[in-house]
Amino acid sequence: MLQLRRYVKSDAETIVTWIADERTCYLWSADRYGHYPVTPQDMNRQYDGFEESREFGPITAVEDGKIVGHMIMRYPNPEDHSKIRFGFIIIDYLKRGRGYGARMLREALKLAFDSFHAEKVTLGVFRDNVPAALCYLSVGFHPPLDPDEPKERTVNIMGEEWICCELEMSRAEYAARIAEEARAATGESEPQPVETVDPKRETDGEQNDSKTE
């Protein structure tokens, strides 16, 4: 069973081995590290002080005692805890394409909405990172609905302009998705609205039937 736990510094030794090449590194971390390869020491410097931080939390996904995924959760605005942002999302390359990313995200969403009581969760994904984007969409993320919210931004990576797309999910959307998944698991159909009957119309119908007879 996949579970989330708080990151510990020794996790970095495993996580950095999943970054196969320079392009993968930048797709994962954007311009946060600014170089490749990334070492365990680099990762722990990036997360320096996380043990005492209440605004930033690296997370490790484990299954059967083995590290299978990693991500961070943070408050973009330390004064506003209604919004949580996911980042640095990565899965063991030997586990990719097998649903581990979606499972990790579902657990992280449960943590964000049920334990931290967020109203919205956001993340960014590069347009060219199609497998990651499809994973995020599969668990319910979507582009911002508010027309005033930016839907993408440009980041200079490796001398190129990469487009980073914004995705989000609200608490209400999360709750509706969980309810739908629960109904699907039990074979129940979505409740249908009860049709109201006009008593006068019903009476008229009965009268018409009796006249026909």
Residue 141 resides in a domain:
yes
Q: List phi, psi (to 5°) of 57.
A: -145, 110
pLDDT for position 209: 46
Residue 23 resides in a domain:
yes
Measured CA to CA in angstroms, residue 3 lies from 46, 63, 150 at distances of 23, 6, 33
Residue 143 resides in a domain:
yes
Residue 209 resides in a domain:
no
pLDDT for position 191: 61
Cis before residue 191, ω within 30 degrees of 0? no
What is the C-alpha separation between 63 and 58, in angstroms, rounded? 17
At 127 the three-state DSSP class reads coil
Total domains in the fold of the chain: 1
Q: Which domain holds residue 73?
A: 3-190
pLDDT for position 54: 79
Residue 124 resides in a domain:
yes
Q: What predicted TM-score, i.e. pTM, was given to this entire model?
A: 0.86
Residue 137 resides in a domain:
yes
pLDDT for position 200: 53
Residue 212 resides in a domain:
no
What is the C-alpha separation between 59 and 19, in angstroms, rounded? 17
CATH number, domain containing residue 90:
3.40.630.30
Residue 195 resides in a domain:
no
Q: Name the residue among 108, 134, 178, 105 with its Cα closest to residue 142.
A: 134
Q: Name the residue among 50, 40, 52 with its Cα closest to residue 7.
A: 50
Q: Split the chain (213 residues) into runs of 10 and give each run's mean pLDDT.
A: 97 98 97 96 94 88 98 95 97 96 98 97 97 98 96 96 98 96 83 57 47 41
